[in-house]
Structure 1
Amino acid sequence: AIIGFYKMKKIVSFSIIVAVFCNQCSRQSAITYEGTITAGKTERLLSTVLNKSFLFSSPEDMMILDSLLIVHDSYQQAECFHIFRKSDGTFIKSFGRKGRGPGEFMDINSANTNYNGSITAYDPNYKKIVVFDIIDILQDRKPYFKEYTVTNAPNFITQMLLYKDEFIAKGNDDKLRYGFWDPTNETFHNIYTDYPQLSNEDEDNWALTEYAVKAKLSPDGKTLVSATYIGGILELFDIDDNGLKLRTARFFFEPRYNYAQGAKPRWVTTSSESIIGFEDLFLTNDAIYGLVWGVERPQMENSMPQLFCFDFDGNPVKSYILNDALESVAVDDDGTIYGVGCDSVGQYKLCKYITSK
């Protein structure tokens, strides 16, 4: 098997821990699902190993800041973020400790680079936003972060992304799906509440667009993209100071799922019939890159996610053939692709990928 396990924390979402599931697939809605992702071009990539000695445990997000690669990997790590030199993969240092103190986390649900060269990390359990200054971290200049506690939220806030001097919040029901949070007066505004109608049940729609979802901002802050783990629903939103507006949505696979017994509001998890969608998402100002499984959950043991490039209308324009099973991906301004994943013997490694000639 290429991958012997696939992120058990995605089977159990956030702090909801359940032992028994009741089987439930989505009801047929008016949405027509494409059933596949087909790109016009295919490109084979060759890998150059940058680092295979670092003990990755579950690399969830990968970021690029100038000459640095930063990997969010906190599953079995004392610190949550790890800095590598982009040119040769040399490990530089780690930061962002687990704990209850300032700048520390219990669980990070979103991590994103910012336009000003910092990194925003959000812990939904502590309701804590931490913005790290990477230059200060490299120079060991303290304090190297700013911390905010999210208050006055209308529901449970699961992700936070820096937008100018505010944050775009992602909630978990129709009181707030997305909205802006101003840390100066601790208020929410420009609230967006629409959900795609994936089911006849509202709570299912909320949960399906929240379960292990990836939500990312383009570097210029003009576009937000959301991609689901169950079913592979891709949504693109235009952003300005007045809020979010849906540009387009692609519905690749019909969501099939279980219910988590006893969860209120009703929550979903994967079933053996679930077609797994997006594992990771990365945005440049020109394109969207997504790692997509596109197979039912039992088939994941003997397959690997496929890397696709989408345009900003949601169209798949290119697919890539790789020999590695990537778990996180990042793309440089010049189009160079970096990733962390497993090789055929299950060893994690940090790689750079170039076009095969």
Structure 2
Amino acid sequence: MSRTRPFARAGLLVATCLMAACGEGKPDAAAYVPVVEPLTGTVLYGGDRLSRPQSIGVAGDWVLVGDVPRPHALHVIARADGRYLASWGRQGEGPGEFSSLWGIQSAGPREVWLFDPAQVRLTLLDVSALLAGAPNPLRRTLVLRGDHLPMTAVWTADSLLVSSGMFTTGRLARFDAAGEPRDVVGPLPPAKPNTPPAVAQHAYAGTLVRHPSRPLLAIGTRHADRVEIYGTDGRLVTVGRGPANFEPVYEPKVRAGAPVMGTGDDLRFGYVDLFATDDRLYALYSGATRAERPGKASFGVEVHAFDWDGRLRARYALDALALAIAVDPGGSTLYAVRHDPEPAVLRYPLLR
């Protein structure tokens, strides 16, 4: 596949003034741009059971793939050899049914949380029970209530859920264990003058993840190369920046009497997916505008690895356009889903 790898540099580290900012926006003088390391992937699974895969996660010995729910919403694949093990879920609004499946969060070696943004609902699935043939492997469903409009959501503790979305008073919404709203916390993202808060939130929307063991969250901004790191209390800890250091391109508009985010072909895509391990945040990077890559700007060509202090530590160039990524707990293997030339789950050995 022919493509351009933006900002590639061979054989040197380039000193830079990138911002790995704290809450006050102070620069980190130790920041640098790592050399781009090319990765060569192999197909872990490319069978015809895949439709248009949307998301990917890792739990225990399995890779889990969220798909357009026709006929199934979730696929379970063996990490070791790519064997197709099971499918589960279908299109609909009842238990075990999905409109979309954009979030897969490990809940230990046996279970995963699945997030359906269209239904604002989290589902807890026991994967080991599914593979054992249990008639009902679904352990819990949880609808996030209130007037908020969550776009991504994660389970952080036995009593706390956090989501990012179109909120007007803060960056993160927190919910109790029953899905009832508690509060909205964190500073609003930077915005152009006279920009309504909900429009700024839309411009800086992105994938929300949590640290596997510490009270930390991160958002990879979809239309900027910006990674925000928060405490679960909503405190902004730091902001990591990618090599291009760009912000969303948009204009506040009014449509049907409501404020909206106005965009065009110059809208650039930044971190289109984000995955967290104990020591790294892996951000799938596009860098392309709609005009530069029509219909494919939301697919990533690089993976940027940050530490939890917001410092860019590594850059990897992929040999395929990827929509979503996941990394094994040891940080040795990266998994990605592609759509073309045929839907597949790819496996890449990571250079550390």
TM norm structure 1: 0.78
Q: Of the candidates 94, 101, 117, which is equivalent to residue 101 of structure 1?
A: 94
Maintained 8 Å contact 1:115/1:220: no
Q: Of the candidates 106, 126, 129, which is equivalent to residue 122 of structure 2?
A: 129
Maintained 8 Å contact 2:286/2:302: yes
- In structure 1, the residue corresponding to 2:288 is in which secondary structure? strand
Q: Report the Cα distance in structure 1 between the residues aligned to 2:256 and 2:211, rounded to whole angstroms.
A: 34
Deviations 1:29-70 (A, max 9, x none): x9899xxx9632432323232222245343332111111000
Partner of 1:236: 229
Q: Of the candidates 342, 349, 354, which is equivalent to residue 349 of structure 2?
A: 354
The residue correspondences of 1:1-40 to structure 2 (distance < 5 A) are 39-40=33-34
Partner of 1:245: 235
Deviation (angstroms), 1:321: 2.7
Q: Which has the higher contact order (CA 8 A, sep 6+)?
A: 1
Deviation (angstroms), 1:98: 1.2
The residue correspondences of 1:1-357 to structure 2 (distance < 5 A) are 39-74=33-68, 77-115=70-108, 117-145=110-138, 146-151=140-145, 153-166=146-159, 167-175=161-169, 177-184=171-178, 187-200=180-193, 201-203=195-197, 204-210=199-205, 213-239=206-232, 243-250=233-240, 252-257=245-250, 262=255, 265-268=258-261, 270-301=263-294, 305-342=301-338, 346-354=341-349
Identity of aligned residues (%): 20
Distance 1:154 1:53, change over 3 A: closer
Deviations 1:110-154 (A, max 9, x none): 332224642222334433321111122112224322112333x24
- In structure 2, the residue corresponding to 1:206 is in which secondary structure? helix
Aligned residue pairs total: 319
Q: Report the Cα distance in structure 2 between the residues aligned to 1:259 and 1:60, rounded to whole angstroms.
A: 29
Q: Report the Cα distance in structure 2 between the residues aligned to 1:289 and 1:220, rounded to whole angstroms.
A: 16
Q: Report the Cα distance in structure 2 between the residues aligned to 1:92 and 1:293, rounded to whole angstroms.
A: 31
Maintained 8 Å contact 1:43/1:355: no
TM norm structure 2: 0.79
- Structure 1 moving runs of 4+ over 4 Å: 30-33, 258-261, 301-304
Q: Report the Cα distance in structure 2 between the residues aligned to 1:125 and 1:350, rounded to whole angstroms.
A: 24
Deviation (angstroms), 1:250: 3.5
**Please, which runs of 5 or more residues in structure 1 have no aligned partner?**
4-29
Maintained 8 Å contact 2:209/2:276: yes
Q: Report the Cα distance in structure 2 between the residues aligned to 1:126 and 1:250, rounded to whole angstroms.
A: 31
- In structure 2, the residue corresponding to 1:136 is in which secondary structure? helix
Q: Report the Cα distance in structure 2 between the residues aligned to 1:50 and 1:187, rounded to whole angstroms.
A: 40
